[in-house]
Structure formats: structure tokens, C-alpha cells
Structure 1
């Protein structure tokens, strides 16, 4: 007799009381299925029994008894009767090698790293993981061609144990030979050798090759990097194998352009021309020009990657600038050098020095000429997930810039700035990100009046406290123009939301203050707030913000630029 009802439901699973703990795992792997008649119910029961058998075997139940059938109810019900039986444990664990290992300690490390212990539940996933780990340890010990052969797992029903034998093909151990660079590469062979992570004759280690590849790729001069060992020669014992380096160069010349606008800073356009591999050592030359309502600038810098030390970048730079702001007018030429060195995965340090010759004019002190020699010491921490549009992580930095000046004023001072920013996705809604920024700065050793006007602190504008004009926060002169100060505080909080497609929105509050003395304070804190829109491109977000002051000002400010505010 066939039933005519139809329903979607998982089969009924019958388990002994002592194995009820398996029910959640079993329910997780069983899909709902339609049982319109007894034939479909029996088929669904058989399918469920097959899935359960695979699950139980993976969990160490190798003597399970599983019966599937259907009851002629309305609608028909698929039923699986499961008797898992005993859970098998690991018994003997054996590692067999195709050739004798050059060091018996390697076998001990492989056994210790397998994380399999006699008497533990014989889980299939642990067997697979132990085998993969054994191959990895062999390669780390100098066997680059090591691989797993067919393993043997024997289930002993008399003792409820599984005895496992791992068969490992070691091939020949390898030592590094010569570094062989592709003949058609436009890079000096000596450059590739200058920051290699290994010496000829050393034992092969895959981490050496990966680190070496990352260093070459990190120069930015190549679209692809391929580092591999030459084929092993026939024979026994150690094989000396050359390291073959092949790269595909990226575009050697690129041109980029950008633009910005705000109601207080006006329109600005920038262009950047980049030439890579200038001298055959992956050097990068950048020439940029900026034309804006408040500033005209020409800038050049030349980067030398891996400068006498792995991952160190040495930069020579120079620029000429003309600025005309409410606070000051400035003409300057600058030349400098800096060296940047990663300290850890997330910490980077920079040391540098520059000399600047400038003519600066402001209302208080008039026109003055300066020659300033300054140093730079900077440490930055950054574990964020994206440089231009972070959603998780933390950034922190401290910058110290001692300087001495000559000319119409002789002065010695230290400029110190610290900043922190954090980014966090809202739990349960990854499309919303909370972002916060705190920045503080101070200048020791010279009065505000003695300092060149461009070296003082200012706040307000699209990159500072939105809702206020550029340099619109802080002390003013008799004409109402900003005069800057020796200390600064800036704070920002944003709620960033992905809306639809590439579009997003932002709600923000900014605050800041500038003081004439050297200690930052909150007494004269000015606050602005607003909303913004973001269009997320492949290279970063394009932002538009509308902001208004909550204290100490009036009017509305509009900002358009590329990249998040911080």
C-alpha cells in the first residue's frame, strides 16, 4: 500500500541512550527530504544511513550497525536505527621512510609533531592532519620532494583499536647550490644575490625560499616571482641543487592622477609619474606635481629597496613648494634622506634627515628667511586589514623631529606627534564599522612666535576637524587670521556602513584644539559633525563629506577626496 501524502523532513534517527551525544552531529549532516510515498521514504532512509556511516567512521566508530527502513505512516516516515558500538582508539603508530634519514632526530620531531597518541579516539581527520604534518616536517628538514605514499590503517575489532602506518617518500635531501637568475631579466644578478636568505651549501628550508620570494615581490617591480629548486640528479645521499630565479617585470612606467575639493581649501589636482627599475636594482623614481588653491608643489623621491639589509628601503627626496594660506605665505626648497626598516610583522621604524631653505611671512612676525636642519625618528604599529579602507585592527605611531634653524631666527626645538586609530566591525553586522582617531602633538624648546609659521600646529579642514575652515581652529591675530600654536589635539569618531553595491555612508564627529603653549589641552576644544557618502572602488573609497560646526563657528563645509578620512 502506497501513502499519498507529501512532506519535507529529516529521517527519524533512533540512537541508544548512551550515544545521545552523537545526535547533534548526525542532525547536522542530514538534509530535509521529501517522502511522498514508501519508495521515496526508503530511498531517503538509505541515503541517511550512508551519510551516518561516513560520519561515524570519521569519528572512530568502525563497528557501527545501521539499519534503514520506512514506516507506512501518513506521510511515510524514513527511519534509521543506529547502534554505534564501541569507539575505536589509536593503537600502534608507525612511520616508515623510503630511505634512511640523515639524522634520527628528524624522525623524533615528526612523531612528536603528529599529535597522535595511542589510546586517543581514532578520528580520521587526525590521521590526515598527521600525515600532512609529517610531510611538512620532512621538507623543513631538507627533503624538498618529500611526499606521502599510501598509508595503511588496520582496524582491529578484537581490541577496538586502529593501527596506523604512514609511508613517507623522502627522496634525496638537498643543499643549496648556486643562485641562477633568468637570462632575460633586466635586473642585475648581483641585486638578487644581495638579499638572499641562504648560503650555498646550507640545508634546504622552504621558509628560506618563501622569505626570499616575498622580498623580491615586495619591491613592487615585478608582476610575478617564481623561485624553485633545479631538478634533483639521480643518485643517493645529499643532492646539491641550484636555486632558479624567474621574474616577470611589471609596467616600468605609470601615471596616476587625483583631485580634491573643499569649500575652504578650494580645488586641488595632483599627478604622479613613476619609473621602476631605474638602475637595474628595482629602484623606483616618483615625480609628483600638485596644483591647488592654497599650494603648488613639485616633489621627487628615489627609493632603493633592500638597501644593505633585507627589507630596508632608503629614500632620497626633494621638493619645492609655494603656499598661500590665511595663516602664512611660504616658499621653500627641501632635500632629505630617510631609511625605513620593518622591526616586526606590524612595526616599522624610520630614521631620516632633511634640510630646508624657506621664506615665510605671517602677520605677527613679517617676512623671515630660514635654513632648517631637522631629523626624523618615527615608529609605527599597524595590524589593520586594509591600508586604504580598514575594517579591523589598530594603528599607532610616534614621530619625533628635532630641528635647528638659522637665518633671521636661531632656534632649536623638538616637534613630537603621537596618534592612535582603531577600526572594529560591529558584531553580527560586518557591513558596519566603528572607527576612532586620537592625535596629539607638542613642540618643545622654542616659543610659537620664534617658530616659522609653517612649523606650528593648526587644526580644521578636511584632514583635521571637519565643519571648520582650513586652519580655522586655534589662536587668531588681530585681523582674525590663524596664527597656530605649539600644541595640538584632534579626535574623530565615525560609523561607516556599506549600503548597496559599492556605495556606503558615514556619520562622524570631529573635535580639536590648538594652544599657544606646549601642553595640549581640552579647554578650547571645538567640535564638528556631519555625514558622508563613500563609493568603494578597487583602489580605495572616494569620499564626499558635508560637515557643520557644533561649537565656535558657523556655516557648512563640503569635502571631496580619495580615501577614508583616517
Structure 2
């Protein structure tokens, strides 16, 4: 009892002492932790590498741990010293892939004030060069042209510096080509670099074993948009053909570009191979809307204001048929046309279109109303386009006070070829660089329900070059000739004219041509039009140009040239283009005159 009483007496004192002790411990720990936090702040460190090319310097810095971790909070004095001692190994590791295995390195580390400075002077030394190369592809099919070409594209020539990324890239290319050609189990049975540092030589050994070449198997199509027969026409392989992944990629591209689908995925089921065949799965989603509507507004000095309304049904039925129609209402050019299209043969490029059109045109003293209809076979790829068709044309027209009517059954051929790279076309279908050649041939015979016999050939060439950045030179040439008894046997739509926004600027639309006794322009049987334009790009959307045009349209073979020159501006917009040209006529003009040529087009 006496002990308990004493304990109770000293209990407040004990509590006070313990509380004071705990407070002291807490305060001590607080300052220790605060010091530790401050001590973990990274010390200022500068790293300099000298004596090597920028490419090598960048690789050294990317490998040098003293530089990589320089901003780390753990980069304290102790760690700086440790990593500095290991710097030589880091630098050697960075230079090795570039073929330098014997560098001489001088380094220095010092502290100036609060800042550490690490300096490295590197002499990369004598490089390792390539001696022997053993490149081989084993297995059935190893003599294929693409493998022979691959072996001919050796990663090194004897004596080249051993730049290891070339070796790695070439090794990956060998496997990539083998896999792409259906050798899905291809593997290297030998792949090594023998490096002899004392001799400064390296030998390359790459031996690829092809293994089994797999073939295309069953097709599994998960779609109900088009018929299986039409779908298969987009696949340029047959079951049993060697499996080539590029053909699947191309099929996916063309199916998507067909306009029938919203999304398309074509893949080979390489994870479920049956025997030596790889099944192909196609998943395709239908479009949300098959009908597409287009509203267009435009103005041109030649034809005045115009408005266009278009309708396009991209899939009329599962056989891939399409239907399109367009109505244009303009001051001097109005039309209504419709076309029914059927994919044939290779649907990626080929179709048959049956078209009908009505057109009402006016210019100068000429008026023309045309009703035309007929079928045509059309081929259209990125570079080559051509069509072969037959068209019945009925045209009522008047030129001044004279009137006429023409009924012709006209076989036609037209084609074009683009000599240019894939990026040759820019927005608004302008030719950026290259040459576009076009030909148009048509005719008629009185023996085939026609009012007249004629044969007409027209050649067009557009060339564009860009010798200096932001500058473009564009040249155009049109040659045309018609074999016909009399110009009066041809309706205005089949005669040649010159002058206007896209012909000889400085003159009115179709005002250049032979004239009748009343002074009315009646066109010609022959034409020559040429243009040279220098264009300077001012920004992504703006350009300025100077031009010179010359043209003739005559009944007789002898040309009667008219010339025009001027300057202009271009505005390229997401929905179309604005063109403004100021043309000055240089032939048969009294005094100085300027003609404005302005056009703007857009579709929404």
C-alpha cells in the first residue's frame, strides 16, 4: 500500500518527464527529416563532351549515366563520384555501336563554388572495319527475285566502318521480307558479329532459314453489305496462293476506298493455322448513310453565277450498283445529268456507266441546248484513266441569226496518264509536280444514223515543276484538229474556241475563233492553246502568279494567234479555290485594256 501511495505521488512527475522527452524526440526527428529533404535536392552539375561529331556526342550523353541522372534528387556528392568513375565504361559503350572500340578518354571532375563540372575529351580512335560477310538464305524459294535483291543489298561494303544499326536494320529486314512472303516460321540459325579489336576488323554472319511457306486458306467474311462474288473481286489472290501479307493490306485499302463500308479490317489468322494454310477474316461495317448530298456555289467570269445540287447513292444494291444525279443552274450554263454505274471485272478500277444529260449554254452570240445519252466503259487508277463509249447527241443551236440542229451517234475515247509521284496532286486537284497527258478522240459517220461525218482529236498536256522551294512553273499545251467537210456540219459543242479564264486570258469567253460574215464567232476545226505561268507560294493558302497565254481557233489549218499576259492571285480553301487574274490582251487591241478573270468554287 505504501508503494502504491508513493507511485501515485510521483506519477505526475513521471508523466511530465516522459512528455518532455517525447517532445524533444519529435523536435529532433523533425529537424533530421528537414535536413534529409534538403539534402536530397540535386547538386548543380554540368557535363561537357568534346572531340567528337554531334551524332556521337548525342549518343554519349544519352548513355553517360552521370549526365542522364544529373537532375535526380539522389545525385549527391557520393553518387557523383561513383558515376564519374564509371564514365569511361559508359562512353565506350556509346561508341561501340558506331564501330569505335578503342577510344582514348581524358576526363576531369571539379567543383567550382556549388557547381560540379565534369569534362570529357574523347578521341574516338581507329574504327573497326568490316572484313568478311556471310549472308545466306536457306530453304525452298530462296532463289526468288526479292530474296536475291535482298542479298544484293548488303548492309556493308568491305572496308566500311562497323555501324551496328545497319546490321540490326538489315537483320530485321530479312525477317520482315520472309514473313511478308509467307515464311511465318523463318528464323536465324546463325547471326553474329565477330569483332577482333586488336586487328580492327569485324566479320558479319547472317544465315536465315525460311522453313515452310504458308498459303492462303479459307475466307471468312463477316459482312452483308455486298455479295460474296463482288467481295472476292477485291481480293487479288486465290485460295492456295502463297500467303503474302501485303495483299491483305491492299484488299483492306481498296475495300475501304470502294465507298461501300464505314470500317474494314482484313487479317490473316496466323494464330490458327490449319496445315499449311492461313485463313483470312474480313470484318466490314456498312455505312451509316448510303445517300450523299452535295451543295455547290460558284462564280466565274466565263459562265457567271452558278449553283449545284448533287445526289449520290453509294450502294443501290448488294451488287455494288450506284446512282448519281446533279443539277446545275447558272447564268450561262445550266445542266441536269444522271448516271447509273455498275462495277465490272476488277471493281477497284473498272465500271460501266450509262449516262444521260441535258445542257443549256450561252456565250457571246451563241446558244446551245444539248440532250445526250449513252453507255461507257471506264477505267480509273491513280495514274491511268481512260474510257470508251458511244453517245447519242441531239443539239439545237443558234449562232447570231443562223439556227441549226444536229443529231449524231458519237463513239468516243478519252484517256490520261500522270507522270508524277504519289504526292503530285495537292488540294483542288491541281498538279503540284509532274506531267499530265490527255487525249480525246471522237467521231461520227453519216452511215450510222448521224447528220454528218467527222473525226476529231484533241491532245492536252499540263506540266509543273518546282525548281526552287515555294516557286512553281506551270506549262499548258492544247492541240486539236477535226476532219470534216464543213465547219457548218458541226454543232457548237464540237467546235474549237479559245479565250477566257482557262484559255487565253485577257479575252472574253470563247471570243477567239473564226468569224462569219456578220462578225459572229463560229469557232474552228483546228486549235492551238499554250500557257506559261510562274507561281510563288506566299503561305499555305495564298499564292501569286504571272502568266503568258497564246491561242488560236480557226477553220483553216493556218493559225491566227492571240496573246495575253498578266498577273494573278490564288486562295486555296478547304472547300475550294478562289482565282483572280488580271489579263491584258496583246493582239489586235486599240490602247491598253485589262480584263478581270475571277472564279470561286466550293462544295458543302
For the superposition of Structure 1 and Structure 2, which TM-score range results when normalised by the shorter chain? 0.7 to 0.9
Q: Deviations over 1:99-126 (max 9, x none)?
A: x945564797497256146844332132
Pick aligned residue for 2:489 from 444, 450, 468: 450
User: In the alignment, what sits opposite 1:178?
Assistant: 218
1:380 aligns with 2:416: yes
1:157 aligns with 2:194: no
User: In the alignment, what sits opposite 1:330?
Assistant: 368
Counting only pairs closer than 5 Å after superposition, residues 397-476 of structure 1 correspond to structure 2 as: 397-404=438-445, 410-427=451-468, 429=469, 431-476=470-515
1:212 to partner: Cα distance: 2.9
The separation in 2 between residues aligned to 1:231 and 1:53, in whole angstroms, is 42
Greater alpha carbon shift after TM alignment, 293-302 vs 82-91: 82-91
1:472 partner SS: coil
2:513 partner SS: coil
User: In the superposition, relative to structure 1, how do residues 496 and 225 fare at CA in structure 2: closer, same or farther (>3 Å)?
Assistant: farther
User: In the alignment, what sits opposite 2:601?
Assistant: 562
1:540 to partner: Cα distance: 4.4
Greater alpha carbon shift after TM alignment, 267-276 vs 152-161: 152-161
The separation in 2 between residues aligned to 1:480 and 1:310, in whole angstroms, is 51
Q: How many residues align?
A: 527
Q: Deviations over 1:213-270 (max 9, x none)?
A: 34323423334432211244368xx422222122344452222222332445321222
Give yes or no for contact 1:370–1:406 (8 Å, CA) kept in 2.
Answer: no
2:521 partner SS: coil
User: In the alignment, what sits opposite 1:203?
Assistant: 242
User: In the alignment, what sits opposite 2:25?
Assistant: none
Q: Deviations over 1:287-337 (max 9, x none)?
A: 111111112210112333344576223222110122233242222211122
Greater alpha carbon shift after TM alignment, 57-66 vs 452-461: 57-66
1:131 aligns with 2:171: yes
The separation in 2 between residues aligned to 1:506 and 1:110, in whole angstroms, is 46
Q: Which runs of 5+ in 1 are unaligned?
A: 1-7, 14-21, 34-38
The separation in 2 between residues aligned to 1:110 and 1:469, in whole angstroms, is 58
User: In the alignment, what sits opposite 2:292?
Assistant: 254
Give yes or no for contact 1:228–1:245 (8 Å, CA) kept in 2.
Answer: yes
1:66 aligns with 2:105: yes
User: In the alignment, what sits opposite 1:299?
Assistant: 337
1:50 to partner: Cα distance: 9.1
User: In the alignment, what sits opposite 1:389?
Assistant: 430
Pick aligned residue for 1:360 from 397, 402, 416: 397
Larger Rg: 2
Q: Which runs of 5+ in 2 are unaligned?
A: 1-45, 62-66, 68-76
Identify the structure with the greater helix proportion. 2
Pick aligned residue for 1:538 from 551, 570, 574: 574
User: In the superposition, relative to structure 1, how do residues 550 and 110 fare at CA in structure 2: closer, same or farther (>3 Å)?
Assistant: closer
Q: Where has structure 1 moved over 6 Å in runs of 4 or more? A: 27-31, 45-52, 70-73, 147-150, 167-171, 406-409
1:488 aligns with 2:527: yes
1:435 to partner: Cα distance: 1.5
1:544 to partner: Cα distance: 3.3
User: In the superposition, relative to structure 1, how do residues 120 and 138 fare at CA in structure 2: closer, same or farther (>3 Å)?
Assistant: farther
1:411 partner SS: coil
User: In the alignment, what sits opposite 1:286?
Assistant: 324
The separation in 1 between residues aligned to 2:596 and 2:539, in whole angstroms, is 26
User: In the superposition, relative to structure 1, how do residues 291 and 108 fare at CA in structure 2: closer, same or farther (>3 Å)?
Assistant: closer
TM-score by length of 2: 0.75
Give yes or no for contact 2:495–2:525 (8 Å, CA) kept in 1.
Answer: yes
The separation in 2 between residues aligned to 1:186 and 1:108, in whole angstroms, is 40
1:457 to partner: Cα distance: 0.7
1:493 partner SS: strand
1:143 partner SS: coil
User: In the alignment, what sits opposite 1:18?
Assistant: none
The separation in 1 between residues aligned to 2:540 and 2:413, in whole angstroms, is 42
User: In the alignment, what sits opposite 1:217?
Assistant: 256
